[in-house]
Structure 1
């Protein structure tokens, strides 16, 4: 099982050529891509309970939101992704990129940091059950070709919420918590 990152670690490597830093005032995450190593890519996914802001500080970023693909640079300012919108992020091979991410609510930004701390824990990215557990607690659902939200949610709940725990997986940083608003009874997909 992955080892936790110390709570006071403000920067860590996600993979070769890609690191993450926590910045204060305002609280936000900064992803730094050197252009060496693998290309930066976050596959299509969506969030049920929070909106996100992305700002390109340096370089170019491909953002796809509900099938609409755009190339963003520093001149574009904030790119807002509303909850429920399927989105992906992609850098350009061999290019430097500095990207900042926040949620629209400060407490959601804090939870995003705990999400990234868990994903960045040593060994986590090579552990499918561990990844699914972090997705479950982190309000993140993969996009499937079928587009059935109930199936996307169900996979994360069953595998990340139940099966990973049965196999003894625990979040390295337990400050990431499940938000009860993610499964509202009055909302339909």
Structure 2
């Protein structure tokens, strides 16, 4: 079993690690500034909001095409569900970033999401990533701008094709639950 499934801290890549923190439950990303920058490509969530807090350094948060530089003095940066967003550190700079959601059960699922993506080799497996995205309420932004196509592609690739080809989630606690991820969650 992978370290990311049993440990509360694991390496994402050289110079970037993730830790699960308690009370309150959240994840912490630590970027040393040595090695590649931290980058989360544009994506969106259908059923949950995210809260990012920068404890040290600066983070570029892009929300629906608007770029913000966020630092410790800015407090919480909230990304609402449905908003296309990306995260990026500055090359050569240290960054300590915490992520959570307004609902503890969503934060718990995000941790399972990150644990699955942290399994060695997972980030090099497009179908494995699509399966984790399917179960983890994450949808990549396609460069074509065909937003209506993003969810069906993840459902097809991650929900049907990946399992058919033998792909299995390393941590089965990450599960698409219709009561947690309704088709069109309303406020």
**Category of TM-score, reference length = shorter chain:** over 0.9
Q: Which residue is equivalent to 1:182?
A: 181
> Alpha carbon RMSD of aligned pairs, Å?
1.6
Contact in 2 for aligned 1:33/1:98 (Cα 8 Å): yes
Taking the aligned partners of 2:63 and 2:24, their CA distance within structure 1 comes to 25
Q: Which residue is equivalent to 2:103?
A: 105
- 1:143 corresponds to 2:141: yes
Q: 41, 44, 55: which is aligned to 1:43?
A: 41
Instruction: Report the secondary structure of 1:80's partner residue.
Output: strand
- 1:80 corresponds to 2:78: yes
Q: Which runs of 5+ in 2 are unaligned?
A: none
Q: Which residue is equivalent to 1:114?
A: 112
Mean Cα displacement is larger for which, 173-182 or 100-109?
173-182
Q: After superposition, what is the alpha-carbon deviation per residue over 1:66-111, rounded to whole angstroms, capped at 9, x for unaligned?
A: 1110000000000000000000000000110000000110000000
Deviation at 1:6, TM superposition (A): 6.2
How many residues align? The count is 185
Q: 125, 131, 141: which is aligned to 1:127?
A: 125
Q: Which residue is equivalent to 2:91?
A: 93
Q: 65, 71, 84: which is aligned to 1:67?
A: 65
Deviation at 1:56, TM superposition (A): 0.2
Instruction: Report the secondary structure of 1:100's partner residue.
Output: strand
| Residues 119 and 185 of structure 1, relative CA distance in 2, 3 Å threshold | closer
- 1:20 corresponds to 2:15: no
Contact in 1 for aligned 2:47/2:185 (Cα 8 Å): no
Taking the aligned partners of 1:101 and 1:77, their CA distance within structure 2 comes to 12
Contact in 2 for aligned 1:4/1:173 (Cα 8 Å): no
Q: After superposition, what is the alpha-carbon deviation per residue over 1:1-50, rounded to whole angstroms, capped at 9, x for unaligned?
A: xx544644100001111100000000000000011111110000000000
Contact in 1 for aligned 2:42/2:85 (Cα 8 Å): yes
Q: Which residue is equivalent to 1:168?
A: 166
Taking the aligned partners of 2:124 and 2:143, their CA distance within structure 1 comes to 24
Taking the aligned partners of 1:185 and 1:114, their CA distance within structure 2 comes to 23
| Residues 75 and 174 of structure 1, relative CA distance in 2, 3 Å threshold | same
Deviation at 1:144, TM superposition (A): 1.4
Contact in 2 for aligned 1:61/1:91 (Cα 8 Å): yes
Taking the aligned partners of 2:147 and 2:104, their CA distance within structure 1 comes to 26
